[in-house]
Amino acid sequence: MIETLIKYNEIFVQNNSHGNTANKNIFDFSNFGSNLILTAPHATRSFVGKKEKLADACTGALVKYIGEQNRISNIIRTKFVPHKALISDFIAENKLQNHYFLDIHGFVAEPKYDVCLGTGYFSEEGYPYLDKIMAAAKKYNLKIKINHHLYKGCIGLTGRYQKTWNEPRVIQIELQKKIRDFYNNPETVKQITIPFFYDIIQSYK
């Protein structure tokens, strides 16, 4: 598992995490026809707020691996472009809005939590599948926070999706560095992070 993750990650870390700049498409869409789509919009560096944003390390390889192993469709940024390129526009262009989405990111700023979940502009009360994610987090003893003020999801895919289609179909999942860094914490990724996602995915089937 870890060797595969490291191999997959070579795509995203090349060119100082600008990814494969020769790739034709900015986003790679692996379509397994699932009801759920995983997204990793910051797998490489991206252009946010008129400047270059660092990649959310390891998220591209994790999403690719989890998607492939479970036959869950996934959309992953494969290269940096020096202009705004949004995954929400990709979803609209490809008419994929009639799916559920887990939008996977990484954070380092708030060490108190392992995972932060964002429900954007919608209230967490009754938000679809949120209870399942909370149950999985409890099972793996993950310290989790819903709608931390820094990670509510309003400015990401969650909020943009809600503004366009007005439905609670996206949840932003922010992962603390220590639970996604398969170079330094391979056992954590293997025993906790990957099984946590496998459990969540089962609830969407």
56 binds Zn ion (CB under 5 A): yes
Candidates 56-64, 108-116, 177-185, 196-204; binding stretch for Zn ion (CB under 5 A): 56-64
Look at residues 39, 59, 50 and name the one whose alpha carbon lies nearest to residue 171: 39
CA 171 – CA 33 distance, rounded (Å) = 19
Does the footprint of Zn ion cover residue 105 (CB under 5 A)? yes
Looking at the Cβ atoms of 81 and 203, the one nearer to Zn ion is 81
Taking CB under 5 A as the rule, does residue 180 contact Zn ion? Answer: no
- Minimum Å gap between C-beta 158 and Zn ion is 12
Query: Rounded to 5 degrees, what are φ and ψ at 26?
Result: -70, -40
Contact (CB, 8 A) for 74 and 101: no
When CB distances to Zn ion are compared, the closest residue is 105
Out of 18, 42, 169, 180, the residue judged to bind Zn ion by CB under 5 A: 42
Q: Is the Cβ–Cβ distance between 147 and 124 less than 8 Å?
A: yes
Q: Which is nearer to Zn ion, 63 or 137 (CB)?
A: 63
In whole angstroms, what is the distance from residue 183 CA to residue 178 CA?
10
What is the contact surface with Zn ion in residues (CB under 5 A)? Answer: 42, 56, 105
